Amino acid sequence: MDPHNHPGPGALDRRDFLRGAALTGAAAAAGGLGALGPAVSALGGPTTPGPEGPAAPGLEGPAAPGLDGPAAPAGPAGFPAYAFLGEALNVASLRYNPTGELIFPCVRGVYDKLATPLGRYYLYYAPHDAPGGICLAYGDSLAQPFTEYPRNPIVARTWSPHYSVSHVSSPHVLWNAATRQFHLYFHGENTTTRLALSDDGITFRYHGVVLSTARVPNTTETSYARVFDHSIPALGSRYVMVFMAYHTVPPGVRKIFWGWSADGRSFTFDPQPLVSPVGDGETDISGPYVLKRNGTSYVVYHGGSGRMYLTEVGNAFDRENHLGVFHTPLATAPDNRRSAAPSFGTDGGVNYMFYEAGQRAGTRIAVARAV
């Protein structure tokens, strides 16, 4: 059977899916930029390991059990399991939090890229609901709470003369070593993914639209994109993009699509989905992130149930080998049975995962640590 055209149950309403209405879903794990250890890397400008030694204290509390008991010792394909550590931000003290919900974390190590950074690590995040707004926080440890940048949002829903939309959200930042620039990918509206460029990771220049429904046939949404440094010689590419699209081909569900690029600015897109939800028993999937291990490439993403899943796609992005549940959310706060949109990194040899935790009306950025 063609893995790109599996039949499946009827699709969820978009807002129901984004809010994670199903109670069986995995809560967004609170996590750092947690990397995946020496044998694993997160593609596309992962955080560089910090000084060796134990992780700094700060996000306190013992690992909380998952829905079915303590976290497993390992995930699929030999990836580590992650246990909740704490929340990345003190939500009560945030100056900019217009909707009471924060999504789509992206953490980047900047201490080896900037002469005078605000901190060793930058955390990008955003509200989703209008007006949204791309936000920045900074810190010196992935195990410590981050400090809000005082002039958020760094990108707003109106950027004259380039666009004026209801909201902007889902920030993903790539460090382009060749140009020594930060690439910020974000959506607004849900049909359009945009790119802005920066020399310092704070002040951005608008570049333009890099993805839209007009560029991927049979889609009505193209958003939640992440871009990674990954060469595919046969395509002459250096970067890959993975993103969520609503695929109108019956039964009409949200799937993971992909594209490739030589420069991270102009992309070619595969018209067929990379990963379909039926292989995980889901109706919709979103929030993809590319990981490497075992000499091959994987995509981790979340489903409407709230769990995260792992699928091997291969280094040529030419396969779809579903490997099962990658992470199960906590039944209690902050996950409340939903974990989504993970971002990974390493600090001092310790592996972390930052993720979107909770049902969408009140999501927070959580941090989990490899166990």
SS3 for 220-287, per residue?
EEEEEEEEEEEEEHHHCEEEEEEEEEEECCCCCEEEEEEEEECCCCCEEECCCCCECHHHHCCCCEEE
Before 150, cis peptide (omega within 30)? Answer: no
Before 153, cis peptide (omega within 30)? Answer: yes
CB 71 within 8 A of CB 358: no
DSSP output for 152-176: --SB-SEETTTEE-S-BEEEEEEEE
Q: Which of 2-16, 173-187, 315-329 has the lowest mean pLDDT?
A: 2-16
Rounded CA separation 308/256 (Å): 13
Rounded CA separation 33/248 (Å): 34
Nearest CA-CA partner of 223 in 332, 341, 120:
341
Please give the residue that has the higher pLDDT: either 250 or 55.
Answer: 250
Q: For the chain, percent helix, then strand, then coil, each to nearest 5? A: 10, 45, 50
CA distances from 42 to 2, 6, 7, 225, 273 (A): 28, 29, 31, 15, 22
Continuous segment of H or E residues that includes residue 101: none
pLDDT confidence of residue 361: 87
Please give the residue that has the higher pLDDT: either 6 or 137.
Answer: 137
Beta strands 308-312 and 321-327 are antiparallel
pLDDT confidence of residue 104: 98
pLDDT confidence of residue 216: 98
Please compute the mean of the pLDDT values over residues 225-254 and round it to a whole number.
97
Helix (H, G, I), strand (E, B) or coil at 178: coil
pLDDT confidence of residue 73: 53
Phi, psi of 180 (to 5 degrees): 55, 50
Please compute the mean of the pLDDT values over residues 148-158 and round it to a whole number.
98
Taking the CB of residue 21, how many other CB atoms lie within 10 A of it?
A: 16
Nearest CA-CA partner of 299 in 225, 188, 190:
225
pLDDT confidence of residue 360: 83
Rounded CA separation 168/111 (Å): 27
Tokens of 96: 């900019």
pLDDT confidence of residue 59: 57
Rounded CA separation 145/366 (Å): 10
pLDDT confidence of residue 74: 77
